[in-house]
């Protein structure tokens, strides 16, 4: 039974939107695959951006890109402030990353995805003035248990107790960066294991919130835009997430203050995205724990995607076979 009042489905994103968005991430992933392992991340990104923009133009919504890849002068990137969609239907905020993991794609490494996050208009935190955010993500067992302000060893021990696991079975995902050397040592000193990732902390955060994942927690400093996009997915998974902005310079901190952002403040899920009706879709570019990468076998191209929606609390896997002839360049 549909409980919505007349016109409500027009005003708010509906359940069909996720499947429409999957078409855009599939297209971006497919177009990026010729560039896997070719060492040219800009070419891979451009191919994905062009395909995603084309398919987004067919979706019945009024989409405002609040988390994109650059400013208007940097076109063809999907830029902050760009309007996408048919101009009809619900008004929504969009976070896009045609390839989360361009370096992974260029190097032929795993875990690159194409992703889109959507929430009702005005509900996503605009943290574009501060590039980095410290994040902590886990499954629902972390709710009321984890606190980014506490020492990491205490959080690891608390999560192990909540999940009923010994500490030495806890696996923590963290970006393999020089800035995380001390963090990595803290994890190991606590008795837990690390899952070091080259790039793509959105997928790592989602994996940390999934019950069937080998990752129990994701921590560390990564992109603020990716943090907001991740929050849309974590809401659908019923997981835990906290973030704290990490400006790198005094000028960046001042820009953040001018934009109304708070520092030395813990942002929870409802701060990162206020809407309770969020969508997150992703298609694998290269193979990863979250989704398989694009594969071509004879005349078919196979893709695997996920579609999450917070209102229904669902995560769907979408496997699709595409006729390769339909994707030949004109």
Known binding residues for Mn(2+) are 45, 69, 97, 100, 226
3-state secondary structure of 301: strand
Write the secondary structure of 214-248 as one string of H (helix), E (strand) and C (coil).
CCCEEEEEEEHHHHHHHHHHHHHHCCEEEEEECCC
Binding site membership for substrate: which residues? 100-102, 132, 177-179, 199-201, 223
Q: How big is the chain by its Cα radius of gyration, in Å?
A: 19
CB atoms within 10 A of CB 155: 22
* Residue 211 burial (CB count, 10 A): 11
Order of strands, edge to edge, in the sheet holding 267-268? 193-197, 171-175, 217-223, 132-138, 240-245, 267-268
CA dist 223 → 182, 227, 247 (Å): 19, 6, 11
Q: List binding-site positions.
A: 45, 69, 97, 100-102, 132, 177-179, 199-201, 223, 226
Q: What is the dihedral of CA 179, 113, 117, 307, to 10 degrees?
A: -130
Alpha carbons within 13 A on the beta-carbon side of 140: 7
Helices in the chain by DSSP H: which ranges? 8-11, 17-32, 41-56, 102-107, 152-163, 181-189, 201-209, 224-237, 250-258, 269-272
CA 148 – CA 49 distance, rounded (Å): 34
Q: How many CB atoms lie within 10 A of CB 187?
A: 25
DSSP string, 144-179: TT--TTS-HHHHHHHHHHHHT--GGG-EEEEE--GG
């Amino acid at each position: 039974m549909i409980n919505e009042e007349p016109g409500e489905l027009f005003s708010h994103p509906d359940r069909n939107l996720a499947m429409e968005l999957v078409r855009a991430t599939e297209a971006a992933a497919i177009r990026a695959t010729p560039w896997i392992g070719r060492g040219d991340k800009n070419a891979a990104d451009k191919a994905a951006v062009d395909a995603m923009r084309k398919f987004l133009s067919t979706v019945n919504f009024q989409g405002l890109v609040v988390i994109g890849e650059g400013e208007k002068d940097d076109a063809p990137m999907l830029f902050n402030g760009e309007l996408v969609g048919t101009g009809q239907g619900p008004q929504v905020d969009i976070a896009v990353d045609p390839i989360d993991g361009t370096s992974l794609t260029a190097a032929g490494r795993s875990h690159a995805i194409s992703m889109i996050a959507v929430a009702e208009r005005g509900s996503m935190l605009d943290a574009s003035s501060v590039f980095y955010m410290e994040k902590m993500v886990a499954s629902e067992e972390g709710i009321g248990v984890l606190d980014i302000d506490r020492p990491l060893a205490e959080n690891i021990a608390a999560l192990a107790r909540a999940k009923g696991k010994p500490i030495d079975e806890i696996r923590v995902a963290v970006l393999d960066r020089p800035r995380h050397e001390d963090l990595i040592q803290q994890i190991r000193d606590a008795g837990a294991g690390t899952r070091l990732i080259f790039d793509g902390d959105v997928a790592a955060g989602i994996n940390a919130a999934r019950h069937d994942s080998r990752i129990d927690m994701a921590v560390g400093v990564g992109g603020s835009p990716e943090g907001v996009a991740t929050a849309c997915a974590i809401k659908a998974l019923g997981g835990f997430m906290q973030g704290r902005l990490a400006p790198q310079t005094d000028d960046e901190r001042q820009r953040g203050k001018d934009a109304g952002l708070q520092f030395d403040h813990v942002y929870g899920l409802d701060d990162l995205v206020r809407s309770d009706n969020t969508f997150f879709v992703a298609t694998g570019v290269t193979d990863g724990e979250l989704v398989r990468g694009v594969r071509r076998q004879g005349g078919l191209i196979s893709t695997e995607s996920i579609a999450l929606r917070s209102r229904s609390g669902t995560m769907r896997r979408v496997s699709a076979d595409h006729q390769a002839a339909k994707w030949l360049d004109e």
